[in-house]
A and B are shown apart, each in its own frame.
Chain A
Amino acid sequence: MDNLQIATPEIFLLAATCAVLVVGLFTQAKSNTVYWLSQLSLVITLIMSLTQIGDEAVTGFSGAYTLDTLSASLKSWVLVLAIGIFLYSRDYVGNRKIARSEYFVLGLFAVSGMMIMVSATHMLTVYLGLELLALSQYAMVALHRDNGRAAEAAMKYFVLGALASGMLLYGMSMVYGATGSLNLTVVADILAGNSEVLSAERTIGARFGLTFLIVGIAFKLGAVPFHMWVPDVYEGAPTSVTMFISTAPKIAAFAMLIRLLVEGLETLSADWQQMLAIMSALSMIVGNLIAIAQTNIKRMLAYSTISHVGFLLMGIVGATSAGYSASMFYAITYAFTTLATFGVLLAVSREGFEADQLSDLAGLGKRNALLAVVMLLAMFSLAGVPPAVGFYAKLTVLESAVNAGFTWLAILGVIMSVIGAFYYLRIIKIMFFDDPVDDTQVSPASDVTAGLAVNGLAVLALGLAPGLIMSACIAAFS
Chain B
Amino acid sequence: MSFPILSLTIWLPILAGFLIIAVGDRPARKLAGIAAILTFLVSLPLYFGFDSSTATMQFQESLAWLPSFGINYALGIDGISMPLIILTTIINVIVVISAWEVIKDRPSVYLGAFSIMTGLMIGVFSAMDAMLFYVFFEATLIPMFLIIGIWGGPRRVYATVKFFLYTFLGSVFMLIALIYMYNQGGSFAISDLHALALSKDQQFWIFLAFLAAFAVKIPMWPVHTWLPDAHVEAPTAGSAVLAAIMLKMGGYGFLRFSLPVTPDASSQMDTFMIAISLVAVVYIGFVALAQRDMKKLIAYSSISHMGFVTLGIFIAFRLIAKDDMSGVALGIEGAIMQMVSHGFISAAMFLCVGVMYDRIHSREIADYGGVINTMPIFAAFMVFFAMANAGLPGTSGFVGEFMVILASFKTNFWIAFLAALTLILGAAYTLWMVKRVIMGPIGNDKVAALTDINSREFWMLAILAIFVLLIGVWPNLIGGVMHASVENLVQQISTSKY
A residues apposed to B, CB below 8 Å: 380, 385-387, 391-392, 395-396, 398-399, 402-403, 407, 410-411, 414-415, 417-418, 421-422, 425-426, 428-429, 432-433, 466-467, 470-471, 474
- Decide if A429 touches B165 in the complex (CB within 8 Å): no
Q: What does the 1/0 interface line of B155-171 toward A look like (CB < 8 Å)?
A: 01100110011001100
- Decide if A422 touches B138 in the complex (CB within 8 Å): no
A399-B69, A425-B164 known; A414-B139 Cβ under 8 A:
no
Name the CB-closest residue of B to A396.
B69
Residues of B within 8 A of A398 (CB): 175-176, 179
Stretch at the interface among B44-52, B140-148, B259-267, B435-443: B140-148
- Decide if B149 touches A432 in the complex (CB within 8 Å): yes
- Decide if B161 touches A422 in the complex (CB within 8 Å): yes
- Decide if A395 touches B142 in the complex (CB within 8 Å): no
Residues of A within 8 A of B145 (CB): 425, 428
With A and B bound together, what is the CA distance between A429 and B131 in angstroms?
28
- Decide if A418 touches B169 in the complex (CB within 8 Å): yes
- Decide if A387 touches B175 in the complex (CB within 8 Å): no
A418-B165, A470-B68 known; A385-B138 Cβ under 8 A:
yes
Residues of A within 8 A of B67 (CB): 467, 471
Please name 8 further chain A to chain B contacts, defined as beta carbons within 8 Å, in addition to the given A395-B175, A398-B179, A474-B68, sorted by A numbering: A387-B135, A402-B176, A415-B169, A418-B169, A421-B165, A425-B165, A432-B146, A432-B150
Name the CB-closest residue of A to B152.
A433
- Decide if B168 touches A429 in the complex (CB within 8 Å): no
Residues of B within 8 A of A402 (CB): 176, 179-180, 183
- Decide if B138 touches A421 in the complex (CB within 8 Å): no
With A and B bound together, what is the CA distance between A294 and B69 in angstroms?
37
A429-B149, A467-B65, A467-B66 known; A415-B165 Cβ under 8 A:
no
Residues of B within 8 A of A432 (CB): 146, 149-150
A415-B172, A429-B149 known; A380-B142 Cβ under 8 A:
yes
A385-B141, A418-B165 known; A407-B176 Cβ under 8 A:
yes
Name the CB-closest residue of A to B156.
A433
Residues of B within 8 A of A422 (CB): 161, 165
Q: Is B100 an interface residue (CB 8 A)?
A: no
A475 shortest CB reach to chain B, Å = 10
With A and B bound together, what is the CA distance between A425 and B169 in angstroms?
14
- Decide if B176 touches A391 in the complex (CB within 8 Å): no
A226 shortest CB reach to chain B, Å = 28
A392-B66, A433-B156 known; A386-B165 Cβ under 8 A:
no
Among B141, B172, B183, the residue within 8 A (CB) of A399 is B183
With A and B bound together, what is the CA distance between A428 and B146 in angstroms?
9
Ranked 8 nearest A-B pairs via Cβ: A414-B172, A386-B135, A418-B169, A433-B149, A386-B138, A402-B179, A399-B179, A467-B66
A123 shortest CB reach to chain B, Å = 32
Q: Is B204 an interface residue (CB 8 A)?
A: no
Residues of B within 8 A of A466 (CB): 66
With A and B bound together, what is the CA distance between A425 and B149 in angstroms?
11
Contacts A/B (CB < 8 Å), 15 sampled: A392-B66, A395-B175, A396-B69, A398-B176, A407-B180, A410-B179, A411-B173, A415-B169, A418-B169, A421-B164, A421-B168, A429-B161, A432-B150, A467-B68, A470-B66
Residues of A within 8 A of B175 (CB): 395, 398, 414
Name the CB-closest residue of B to A474.
B68
Which residues of chain B from 68 to 89 have a CB within 8 Å of any chain A CB?
68-69
Name the CB-closest residue of A to B141.
A385
Which residues of chain B from 300 to 353 have a CB within 8 Å of any chain A CB?
none
Q: Is B286 an interface residue (CB 8 A)?
A: no
A429-B157, A467-B66, A470-B66 known; A411-B141 Cβ under 8 A:
no
Name the CB-closest residue of B to A471.
B68
Which residues of chain B from 336 to 387 have a CB within 8 Å of any chain A CB?
none
A410-B176, A417-B172, A467-B65 known; A399-B182 Cβ under 8 A:
yes
Q: Is B409 an interface residue (CB 8 A)?
A: no
Q: Is B283 an interface residue (CB 8 A)?
A: no
Residues of A within 8 A of B65 (CB): 467
Residues of B within 8 A of A386 (CB): 134-135, 138-139
With A and B bound together, what is the CA distance between A123 and B182 in angstroms?
39
Which residues of chain B from 182 to 228 have a CB within 8 Å of any chain A CB?
182-183
With A and B bound together, what is the CA distance between A395 and B141 in angstroms?
18
- Decide if A418 touches B68 in the complex (CB within 8 Å): no
- Decide if A433 touches B150 in the complex (CB within 8 Å): yes
A403 shortest CB reach to chain B, Å = 5
A386-B135, A425-B145, A467-B65 known; A418-B176 Cβ under 8 A:
no
Chain B CB within 10 Å, residue with most, of A386, A429, A466, A474: A386
With A and B bound together, what is the CA distance between A392 and B149 in angstroms?
26
Residues of A within 8 A of B68 (CB): 467, 470-471, 474
With A and B bound together, what is the CA distance between A417 and B156 in angstroms?
23
With A and B bound together, what is the CA distance between A335 and B183 in angstroms?
28
Residues of A within 8 A of B180 (CB): 402, 407
B102 shortest CB reach to chain A, Å = 20
Chain B CB within 10 Å, residue with most, of A410, A415, A433, A470: A433
With A and B bound together, what is the CA distance between A347 and B134 in angstroms?
34
Residues of B within 8 A of A407 (CB): 176, 180
Chain A CB within 10 Å, residue with most, of B68, B160, B165: B68
- Decide if A391 touches B161 in the complex (CB within 8 Å): no
With A and B bound together, what is the CA distance between A402 and B165 in angstroms?
24
Name the CB-closest residue of B to A417.
B172
- Decide if A403 touches B135 in the complex (CB within 8 Å): no
